[in-house]
Every structure is written in C-alpha cells, then in structure tokens.
Amino acid sequence: MMRPTGSGGYSGRLRALMVGTQFFISGTLMILAFVMFAQNSTMTQQLDGEVADPKLITTTAVDTFSADFELVKNELQSHPGVLSVSQVDLTPWSISSSPINLSRSADLNESTVLIGNRNIGYDYADTMDVSFLAGRNYSRDRANDRFPSLRNINANGGPYSILLDDRAAQALGFENAQASVGQSIYRHLEPPSVDREMAIELVVIGAIDKLKYQFVDFGVFGITGDALTLAPEFANLMVIKISKENVNDALTHIDETWSRLMPDIPLQREFVDNLFYLGYNLFLSISVAIAALSTLGFLIASIGLLGNATFITKIRQKEVGIRKVMGASSSRLFRMLLLDFAKPILIANAVAWPVGYALGNIYIRLFAARAELTFFPFLISLALSASIAIVAVASQSWKTARVRPAMVMRYE
C-alpha cells in the first residue's frame, strides 16, 4: 500500500502530476472549444442573413423538368422579387467536390493540378454574388464560352472559357488570378469520361474572388482553389436569388409559377442559409460537447486539487510553524503555499498551449473560411485554471499560514 511520504516525496510528486495532468487535459479542451466556437462564428459570416438577398435552391433535377428550363427561368424572373435564376451542379455548403485536372501545357505527359470546379449556368455569378477581380463574366453572345458536352468534345475544338480564383491561378504558376486573365491553360481529360486521353485548351476570361457558401477547404485533400465552368448540361440544380425586400411575394410567385408550368412535379426548394444550418448544427454540437467535457474536467481537477491541498497543508503545518518562529509572516507563507500549488497548474498550461494551438490549427484548416487563431482562448484557459486553483486552495492555504506555532510544535 502506498503511503504518503510528505509533500516533497514520491507520493507528493505523483499527486502533483495527477493534478497537473487533469488541468492539462481540461485546458487543452477549453482552448479547442473556444477555437471551435470562433470558427463556427466565422462560418456564419458567409450567410445571407438579413444583409444579402436570400438564395433558394431547388433539389428537383433540371433534366426532369417537364417544361423548358429557359421558359421556367424567364417566367420566374418576370416578377420583380425574383432577381436572378441560374444552374449549378452541387448544392451550396456541399462537402463533396468535382475537381478537374488543369495544366499550363497541352503535353499529356506533363503533370496536372487538381482544381475544384463547379459546372454552372448563365447568370450564376449574379445569382450567387460572385465578385470579379478582373476580366469578364460568361456571355450568351460568345459560343466558345460554353464548355461542350463530353460526348461531342474533341481535342481540336475551342479554346473554351473558364473563370479562376487566386488559389487556382497560383497553383497553375500565375502570380494571382488577375495575371491569369487572357492566358491559355489546358484541361486534361481521360477515359472513361472521353474515348481517349486529350488536352482541351481553355482561356481564362475572368478572375473571381473566393467563393462563398463553402464548408470544407478541399486543399487538405489535394484540391486547390476553385474554377467555374459554363456547362449547363452538367448543372442539374436550379438556384434562385430573391429580393430581401420582397421575400413573401417572391416565394408566392415561385410556387405559383412552378404549379402552373409543371403541375405534375412537386416543388422542392430550400433556402441556402438553411442548408448551412443542417451541417452547422453538427459542428455546434461538437463544440458544445467539448466545452462541457472541459468544464467537467476543470471541476474534477479542482476537486483533486482541493484534496491535495488539504492533505499537503496538514502535513506542512509544522514547517509553517518553524518558519513563523524564524520570522516569516502569514502573508508571505500564504503566497509560498499558493505558489507551490500553482506550479503544476502553470506547467500544465505551458504544455496545453502548444498542444491546443496545434489542434486548433488542424481544426480550422478543414474549413473554407477560417477563423483567426488569437491569444484569447489561451489566456482564458490560463485565467480559468488560475481562478479555480485560487478558489480551491486559498482557504486551506490561508488557514495553514495563520496557524499558531505553539499549537503545532507543542509536542516537539
């Protein structure tokens, strides 16, 4: 059976190690919880909310429409509350991607870069608030803006058009997206998408800002940046932007137009912001769970610290009595005891900070919109640990520091 050998013995060091470990785990979890809450807040800044015009997406595939898409689009846009209608291949906030292989060379033996790509319809940039840094948008007046169906494509066609953001352009060797405008790049295709391997020439017609409505940064999966390709036949979802000043009337018009043109197909529509919350609630739940575990950990650690303080102060009463006989004041002894109890907590935080920083960095790198990693979570963790330590041991330390030497040394 292990017996206590004093505050400086093996048992004392083991107790200090256990308390320090508890505070290390709790502090690390607290730092991670604050980072996660900050990241969640950063993600919500992409939402339309009450600031931007809201967007809707219909989950009914365009190729199943019983009415012509252009007719549906024109009828919807006849109402002043419907600002723009377009198409896209993936729902906003999707955690999937359809990348393409791009290169600066037509040589099929040259290495390619995997770039995230969205196949879109006309007016997508206006519908989804895509900002242009340079160049132009896709135009119906330019036939080669539209990328052909893979069934009809040939290596001698084109050049076709493409839009790139900064990260995609830099991955291809350009200084930035603006510098890539007007330059030729090549999309490499291979079976089974096409009959034989080929490189299709593309011209960068526009430089776009970072795309909104994205959860995941696919860079961790080797996919760099984003491109927009005008390919309506691959964009099977309809997106609609409505005026924030006229939401109810616009929704009524959309429902009535759909029922009139396609009464045989039920309308399935969803606000883009709502799609965000479907995924966001999972991350929020994880953040709350980690914060709860951290709080529970601090509670357990404080109980352990209180028990350790009660034990240590009891066996150090004679030491305190001797020090008081030698002239030490109660306040000085109180500070000495507090510092002794604080040492494992300070060491635990010194270890928790780099671990929390590393875990926080790994977490925020998963997301397209990243929170800034500040000192706030680390200082909060330290302050909370110190506050718990003071509350847990102050009473016992002060009681021991004020002990009368005659009471503890009368049997010596």
- The pLDDT tens digits of the residues spanning 377-403 come to 888 888 877 777 776 665 555 555 455
Residue 17, in any domain of the structure: yes
Once rounded to an integer, what is the mean pLDDT over residues 354-371?
Answer: 88
Residue 266, in any domain of the structure: no
Looking only at the bridges linking them, the beta strands covering 100-103 and 113-120 are antiparallel
Nearest partner of 16 among 393, 326, 368, judged by Cα: 393
In Å, how far are 153, 233, 269, 359 from 158, measured between CA atoms?
9, 17, 36, 47
In Å, how far are 58, 128, 350 from 239, measured between CA atoms?
6, 8, 50
Once rounded to an integer, what is the mean pLDDT over residues 156-177?
Answer: 94
Where is the domain boundary, 215, 242, 269? 242
Query: What percentage of the chain exceeds 70 in pLDDT?
Result: 81
Whether 22 and 163 map to the same domain: the answer is: no
Residues in the chain: 412
Residue 56, in any domain of the structure: no
Structure confidence at residue 316 (pLDDT): 57
Residue 281, in any domain of the structure: yes
**The tokens 């016992």 sit on which residue?**
396
Structure confidence at residue 7 (pLDDT): 47
Whether 24 and 121 map to the same domain: the answer is: no
Whether 24 and 132 map to the same domain: the answer is: no
Who wins on pLDDT, 298 or 225?
A: 225
Whether 182 and 318 map to the same domain: the answer is: no
How many domains, in total, are found in the chain?
A: 2
Task: Give the model's confidence band at 2: pLDDT under 50 very low, under 70 low, under 90 confident, else very high.
Answer: very low
Q: How many Å separate Cα 310 from the centre of its chain?
A: 44
**pLDDT over 70 (residue 60):** yes
Nearest partner of 171 among 243, 82, 99, judged by Cα: 99
**Token duo for residue 343:** 């040492």
Q: What is the pLDDT of residues 71-114, one digit of tens each?
A: 999 999 999 999 999 999 999 988 888 899 999 999 999 999 99
Distance CA 355, CA 358 (A): 5
3-class secondary structure, 97: coil
Residue 264, in any domain of the structure: no
Residue 265, in any domain of the structure: no
Whether 16 and 113 map to the same domain: the answer is: no
Give residue 108's domain range.
82-242
Who wins on pLDDT, 121 or 288?
A: 121
Q: What is the pLDDT of residues 16-29, one digit of tens each?
A: 677 778 788 888 88
Once rounded to an integer, what is the mean pLDDT over residues 282-305?
Answer: 77
Q: What is the pLDDT of residues 306-341, one digit of tens each?
A: 666 665 655 555 555 555 545 555 566 566 666 666
Structure confidence at residue 401 (pLDDT): 46
DSSP per position, 152-190: T--TTS--EEEEEEHHHHHHTT-SSHHHHTT-EEEEEE-
